[in-house]
């Protein structure tokens, strides 16, 4: 066991694309149950960092450990997902022609295939889990509606519900509130705070008002490394952060 206290441990991580250092000596530690907001201008390395954690991109150097003991640099994407790291990309990818409830069931029974999810009798524990998730993402009233009928914000919540159905320990969420109304954005903040009571969460977000309202520790990336880290008020007032955002 290398780093028993942390759910996620990155140390000295670097990766280059054609000689360009997209990630440059990046270190980041997430404690179990912590929700962390990642900010930074375009090209800062946020997506590449998520790609490294999920095994999509292999770092050239550095350590990446999950849950104290799993060396993620030695595992492929499927193994990493099976360890309990779930990722949600910015654009919602739900099954539009299926109902909200079936979307959750599909994700819950994912490994047993689409026919099992849609036609097999659900066990009591599966039914209870689906109910719990529908309540968490506040889509109980829409359970029988096709996903295509949902608003953009509701599709994002449904996809977060599908992620929860996979029972991850760590959720990586990319720009959840992009394109949402103010009301949907506020509800998403409540949803993420609720999820963070029982999961570790990394959320990449550009909406600074949303990040402030989340009230969690913030890490600002720039040129592939950590530029500033701490409470939102500290990071947002950091002259180096102000400089990179203003482009001076």
Binding footprint of ligand ADP on the chain (CB under 6 A): 17, 22, 40, 42-48
Give dist(CA 164, CA 156) in Å, integer: 12
Taking the least distance from each CB to ligand ADP, the nearer of 28 and 147 is 28
Taking the least distance from each CB to ligand ADP, the nearer of 154 and 219 is 219
Least distance CB 221 / ligand ADP (angstroms): 6
Give dist(CA 79, CA 161) in Å, integer: 21
Taking the least distance from each CB to ligand ADP, the nearer of 154 and 228 is 228
Biggest CA-to-CA distance, the chain: 61
Least distance CB 177 / ligand ADP (angstroms): 16
Contact at 8 Å (CB) between 132 and 161? Answer: no
Least distance CB 46 / ligand ADP (angstroms): 3
Least distance CB 245 / ligand ADP (angstroms): 13
**How many of the other CB atoms lie within 10 Å of CB of 180?**
21
Residue of 216, 224, 174 lying closest to 54 (CA atoms) = 174
Query: HSE-up of 209 (CA within 13 Å, CB side)?
Result: 9
Taking the least distance from each CB to ligand ADP, the nearer of 101 and 205 is 205
């Amino acid at each position: 066991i290398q780093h028993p206290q942390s759910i996620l441990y990155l140390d000295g991580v670097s990766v280059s694309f054609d000689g360009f250092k997209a990630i440059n000596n990046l270190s980041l530690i997430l404690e179990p149950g912590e929700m962390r907001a990642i900010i930074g201008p375009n090209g800062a390395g946020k997506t590449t960092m998520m790609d490294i954690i999920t095994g999509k991109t292999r770092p050239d150097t550095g350590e990446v450990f999950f849950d104290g003991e799993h060396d993620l640099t030695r595992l492929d994407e499927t193994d990493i997902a099976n360890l309990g790291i779930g990722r949600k990309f910015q654009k919602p990818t739900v099954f539009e022609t299926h109902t909200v409830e079936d979307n959750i069931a599909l994700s819950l029974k994912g490994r047993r295939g689409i026919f099992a999810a849609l036609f097999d009798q659900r066990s009591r524990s599966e039914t209870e889990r689906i109910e719990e998730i529908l309540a968490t993402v506040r889509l109980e009233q829409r359970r029988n509606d096709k996903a295509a009928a949902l608003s953009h914000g509701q599709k994002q919540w449904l996809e977060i519900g599908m992620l929860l159905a996979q029972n991850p320990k760590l959720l990586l969420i990319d720009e959840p509130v992009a394109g949402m109304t103010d009301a949907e954005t506020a509800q998403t903040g409540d949803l993420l705070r609720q999820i963070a009571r029982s999961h570790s969460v990394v959320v990449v977000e550009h909406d600074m008002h949303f990040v402030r309202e989340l009230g969690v520790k913030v890490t600002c990336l720039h040129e592939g490394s950590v530029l500033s880290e701490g409470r939102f008020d500290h990071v947002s007032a950091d002259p180096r952060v102000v400089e990179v955002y203003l482009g001076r």
